[in-house]
Amino acid sequence: MKIEVNGENKDVTATTVAEALDALGWGEARVATALNGTFVPKGARGTTALSDGDKLEVLTAMQGG
């Protein structure tokens, strides 16, 4: 299925947010996630299903003012 990850189109076989993170190499990374603008807590990634066209945001610490 096709989803958008951090603004880029990706073709994934993953069915959940957790599987998508694994497939993208972020399985062990310290990140925060949101799906279609809604926060997905770490504990809910394994049960949050993906659908075609979903927009996944994977964020990390960055400099800020």
Partner 1 sequence: MRDFYGVTLDNPLMLGTAQYPSPAVLEDAFRRSKASVATVSLRREGGEGQAFRDLIDRLGVHVLPNTAGCYSAREAITTAQMAREYFETDWIKLEVIGHGDTLQPDPFALVEATEALCADGFKVFPYCTDDQIIAERLIDAGCKVLMPWGAPIGSGIGLANPYALRTMRAAFPDVAMVVDAGLGLPSHAAEAMELGYDAILLNTAVAQADDPAAMAEGFALAARAGQLAANAGPMPVRDMAAPSTPVIGKAWL
Binding site for partner 1 (CB under 8 A): 6-7, 26, 29-34, 37-39, 41-42, 57-65
Which residue in 33, 36, 52 sits closest to 44, CA to CA? 33
Give me the least distance between CB of 19 and partner 1, in Å please.
Answer: 17
Q: Mark 21-31 as b/e (b = at least 16 C-beta within 10 Å).
A: beebeeeeeeb
Q: Which is nearer to partner 1, 33 or 48 (CB)?
A: 33
Q: Which is nearer to partner 1, 11 or 62 (CB)?
A: 62
The CB-side HSE value for 13 (13 A sphere, CA atoms) comes to 1
Give me the least distance between CB of 13 and partner 1, in Å please.
Answer: 21
